[in-house]
């Protein structure tokens, strides 16, 4: 049995981020059960889903819970029956914590839709901590040139953005619209450009519009503007239903608008003519392990760059506040302390 203690940020009750919903706790060091890995966390990126959970927009599955589903670290211990991993291996833990492997969705390569799926930082304690325990078959092998701080943002925004890009149907030469240009979109544009798409970015912030142009967008404008050409596909990243309608009004007949959001405020009433012409609205729910493996391989090949903004673990509430205020220059990443032995 592991000895000592480790630090974590725990959500006991959702409340506005201004009221600092995360509490610092010192808990006994964790241990790996059968089929699990114990990972010493080096970095964990902060996601908008964490903010929605902490504020109650996303209903809690269990409380208390340690949020965080973009954790990177080193394997410290192997549970009984684990194969394919060694102590010291670099590992990532993402949103999908487990799936049953038996239901019709799992059998059809849709484990992201498994009714018994569990999610890191929602159903299981996450990576806002010095240690995390994860199922070995759902942990992700990490290789490539990115250090822990730069790799952490890939594990949610990158993977989910990749799935959204696939589900949008965008292909080489297509005109792709990205609505919102936060952390996930800034990774998605790199894959889209690698595939040969012409990317149009629509976002409220003038700074984000300029950043999109620097990253290769052929056009960038605000939500009150229409792209200069009809789009072949679009992805919405903002958790705002009106943005979905904006995207739908900008795509050509037969095109898909992929909604990359686990929580959306509402979708306003809209004229059927916007959907007419076999346009498609499609939600993006979680990801599969295949998505994660494909994206991480592609990220190393391109290579994808990230812009982490470091925070100490003790500054988790501050990182969430900066995220809500739109005051981050990149992706907030918590640097986690070494386990105390």
pLDDT band at 2 (very low <50, low <70, confident <90, very high): very low
Q: Percent of the chain scored above 90 by pLDDT? A: 91
Name the packing angle between helices 157-168 and 289-301 (round to 10°). Answer: 100
Among candidates 30, 16, 91, which has minimal Cα distance to 66? 30
Residue 1 has pLDDT above 70, yes or no: no
What is the C-alpha separation between 255 and 103, in angstroms, rounded?
31
The confidence score (pLDDT) of residue 338 equals 56
Quick one: tokens of 296? 């991480």
Tens-digit pLDDT profile for residues 12-70:
999 999 999 999 999 999 999 999 999 999 999 999 999 999 999 999 999 999 999 99
Tens-digit pLDDT profile for residues 218-266:
999 999 999 999 999 999 999 899 999 999 999 999 999 999 988 888 9
Domains of the chain: 5-146+306-335 (3.90.180.10), 158-283 (3.40.50.720)
pTM for this entry: 0.93
What is the C-alpha separation between 297 and 154, in angstroms, rounded?
11
The confidence score (pLDDT) of residue 144 equals 79
Residue 10 has pLDDT above 80, yes or no: yes
Residue 290: half-sphere exposure toward Cβ, Cα within 13 Å? 7
Among candidates 147, 55, 49, which has minimal Cα distance to 92? 147
Q: What are phi and psi of 16, to 5 degrees?
A: -55, 145
Strands (E), 218-339: 219-221, 231-236, 251-259, 280-283, 308-312, 331-335
Mean pLDDT of the chain: 95
Q: What are phi and psi of 12, to 5 degrees?
A: -95, -35
Tens-digit pLDDT profile for residues 113-172:
999 999 999 999 999 999 999 999 999 999 878 899 999 999 999 999 999 999 999 999
* CA 31 to chain centroid: 26
Residue 337 has pLDDT above 80, yes or no: no
What is the C-alpha separation between 77 and 39, in angstroms, rounded?
7
The confidence score (pLDDT) of residue 3 equals 57
CB 58 within 8 A of CB 40: no
The confidence score (pLDDT) of residue 340 equals 38
The confidence score (pLDDT) of residue 264 equals 87
Among candidates 136, 134, 190, 128, which has minimal Cα distance to 162? 190
């Amino acid at each position: 049995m592991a000895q000592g203690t480790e630090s974590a940020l725990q959500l006991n009750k959702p409340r506005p981020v201004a009221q600092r919903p995360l509490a610092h706790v010192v808990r006994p060091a964790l241990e790996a059960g059968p089929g699990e890995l114990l990972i010493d966390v080096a970095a964990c990126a902060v996601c908008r889903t964490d903010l929605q959970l902490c504020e109650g927009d996303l209903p809690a599955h269990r409380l208390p819970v340690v949020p965080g589903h973009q954790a990177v670290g080193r394997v410290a211990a192997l549970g009984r029956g684990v194969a394919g991993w060694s102590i010291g291996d670099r590992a990532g833990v993402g949103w999908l914590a487990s799936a049953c492997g038996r239901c019709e969705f799992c059998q059809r390569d849709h484990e992201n839709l498994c009714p018994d799926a569990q999610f890191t930082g929602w159903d299981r304690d996450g990576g806002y901590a010095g240690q995390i325990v994860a199922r070995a078959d759902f942990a992700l092998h990490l290789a490539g040139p990115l250090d822990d701080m730069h790799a952490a943002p890939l594990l949610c925004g990158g993977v989910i953005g990749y799935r959204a890009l696939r589900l949008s149907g965008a292909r080489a030469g297509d005109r792709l619209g990205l609505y919102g240009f936060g952390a996930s979109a800034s990774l998605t544009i790199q894959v889209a450009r690698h595939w040969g798409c012409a990317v149009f970015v629509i976002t409220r912030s003038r700074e984000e519009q300029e950043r999109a142009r620097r990253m290769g967008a052929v056009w960038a404008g605000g939500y009150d503007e229409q792209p200069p050409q009809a789009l072949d596909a679009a992805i919405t990243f903002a958790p705002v239903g009106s943005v979905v309608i904006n995207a739908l009004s900008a795509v050509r007949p037969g095109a898909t608008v992929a909604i990359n959001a686990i929580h959306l405020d509402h979708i306003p009433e809209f004229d059927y003519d916007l959907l007419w012409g076999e346009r498609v609205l499609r939600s993006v729910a979680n990801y599969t392990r295949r998505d994660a493996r494909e994206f991480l391989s592609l990220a190393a090949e391109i290579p994808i760059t990230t812009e982490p903004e470091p925070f100490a673990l003790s500054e988790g509430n501050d990182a969430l506040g900066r995220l809500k205020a739109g005051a981050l220059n990149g992706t907030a990443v918590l640097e986690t302390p070494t386990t105390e032995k």
